[in-house]
Amino acid sequence: MRKNNLHIFNSNLNNKLKLIPLKTKFNDTGKIRYLPSTSKEWKNTIYSYYNKNMKNFGTNNINANKIIKSYFHLYFKDQNFISSKFLTKNRQRDFIRKIYVSSLETKHINSKIIMTFYTLNWGRVKLFKNYLNLLTFNNFKIIKMWRLRLRNKINLFMSKDLEKKNLIYKEYKKTGKDLFVYKYKLLSESLKWYNLYMKLYLTRVMKFKFFAELKFLRKFEFNFKLNKFKFDTFLPKLGNMLSKIYKNNIEFNIINLKTYSLHSDIFTQILTSKIDTQNMLPNHVLKDAIKDITLAKTNHVEEKSYYMKYQDSLLLENKYKNLSLLSIINSKEVINNTCSLNKLLKEIPNYTSESLGKYNKDYSNISHLIFNSIKYKNLRGVRIEVKGRLSKRYRADRSVFKMKWKGGLKDIDYSSKNLPTTVYRGVRKPNILYSLSPSKRRVGAFALRGWLSAK
């Protein structure tokens, strides 16, 4: 039996006339569906196995979110140090001009944990503007004062009494020299001493007259530096605190946003703080928020038009009817050297480090191509809902519900064009960011929900 098996094996091995399947595949594969990042569906993505710490990831994330938010709300302990009034911690946290932080998105690897979160630094922009405005105003006042003193001094030298009494002027007049030369020499000698006098005078003026302005400048400068240190010098200390919770090295990926309408967590936080601290009517807050938001310009007729499915000729499935490697190599395109894959393999040795400089033009637009391939980066619609005890204190109808929207939340590729889209867990959609932020007032509690759709 063993000899027969070996004979069959050797005969099949030496058989050169092997069968190639004749069944050809006729594909009409069109546009491939877009796959968004998994971090939008899952806040925690784990690429390693922790036997002991897997159970604690939920509580660890809650604690980490609290620590990060309290870290970015840090203020000076002694308010007299920056010459400002005493404010409680709750009052300081209620300021609208502060650093807003979104919820964490963690990525667990064997060596480290990558934490990504979005921030909106409104405090830095406001402090910098106040500092510049106060500085320019004070500089203008000082320069104005210096000009007045200088003008009075020059007028004193140019007065007729000085010209009549001065003997040097008479000698210049006898010799016939120009009066302008005499004035120039007199001013050049006196201005050196006058500059010293003005410096001493201005230091005294700054101490007494501009004492309050210097206080404000010092306050803005220290607050601005504290805001700056939160993002660079103090971050390792925050990483050490969080590494004790997760028992692993931590790497931060902080994304600074320019406007609050780019992330739903920050969007709802700002609106709730406006309703809570300023005791404004919710309808006015929602109207102002929707006015500030600018949506991407779209042609609605072209956007909702019927999408004609076409065959993508660049796909491998459509280019070759049989996907076996032998049939691709033996095809007419490869034999005639027209296959793009064959050209690429032949040109690989030519792309050395010296020759890369010649082909820079081919790779100049690669960043634009990658950026254009990313979907859901343009804002398409907003929806805001507020519900809770938002009326005046002594009224019967305390529960209020308000809603405002702009644009739409539908995914056009799925609803109008019948293109395939990915589905997230539950009711969540890939083109929508949703968040809820609860808060309370004197009358009672309320909550604000926000949806941001992209295209």
So where are the chain's domains? 37-158+205-257, 259-296+378-455, 307-352
Q: Quick one: pLDDT band at residue 364, thresholds 50, 70, 90?
A: low
CB of 96 closer than 8 Å to CB of 231 = no
**Of the candidates 291, 282, 217, the residue with the CA atom closest to the CA atom of residue 261:** 291
Task: Determine the average pLDDT of the residues in 222-248.
Answer: 88
Residue 305 structure tokens = 């038009």
Strand partners for 105 = 116
Instruction: Please report how many Cα atoms fall inside a 13 Å half-sphere around the Cα of residue 293, on the Cβ side.
Output: 28
Q: Quick one: pLDDT band at residue 335, thresholds 50, 70, 90?
A: very low
Burial zone of 75 (CB within 10 Å; 0-12 exposed, 13-18 middle, 19+ buried) = middle
What are phi and psi for residue 279, nearest 5 degrees? 55, 40
Query: Lowest-confidence range among 49-63, 185-199, 278-292?
Result: 185-199
For tokens 């109008």, the residue is: 416
Flag whether pLDDT at 304 surpasses 60.
yes
Burial zone of 104 (CB within 10 Å; 0-12 exposed, 13-18 middle, 19+ buried) = middle
Q: What is the pLDDT of residue 278?
A: 62
Higher pLDDT, 115 or 297: 115
**Of the candidates 232, 212, 215, 211, the residue with the CA atom closest to the CA atom of residue 124:** 232
Q: What is the pLDDT of residue 118?
A: 93
Residue 11 structure tokens = 């005969």
Contacts 24+ apart (CB under 8 A), 44-49: 44/106, 44/108, 45/106, 45/107, 45/108, 46/108, 47/107, 47/108, 47/109, 47/110, 48/108, 48/109, 48/110
Q: What is the pLDDT of residue 247?
A: 87
Q: What is the pLDDT of residue 351?
A: 44
For tokens 């390792």, the residue is: 236
Q: Are strands 445-454 and 432-440 parallel, antiparallel or unpaired?
A: antiparallel
CA distance 207 to 232: 34
Which CATH class for the 259-296+378-455 domain? alpha beta
CA distance 435 to 431: 14
CB of 42 closer than 8 Å to CB of 104 = no
- Which secondary structure element, helix H or strand E, spans residue 274, and what is its range? helix 264-277
Q: What is the pLDDT of residue 394?
A: 66
Cβ neighbours of residue 81 closer than 8 Å, sequence gap 6 or more = 222
Q: What is the pLDDT of residue 207?
A: 63
CB of 100 closer than 8 Å to CB of 119 = yes
- Which SS3 state, helix, strand or coil, does residue 432 take? strand
For tokens 């956007």, the residue is: 303
Q: Quick one: pLDDT band at residue 275, thresholds 50, 70, 90?
A: confident
The CA angle 403-404-406, to the nearest 5 degrees, is: 150
Higher pLDDT, 97 or 4: 97
Q: What is the pLDDT of residue 354?
A: 43
CA distance 373 to 34: 9
CA distance 316 to 314: 6
CA distance 385 to 170: 89
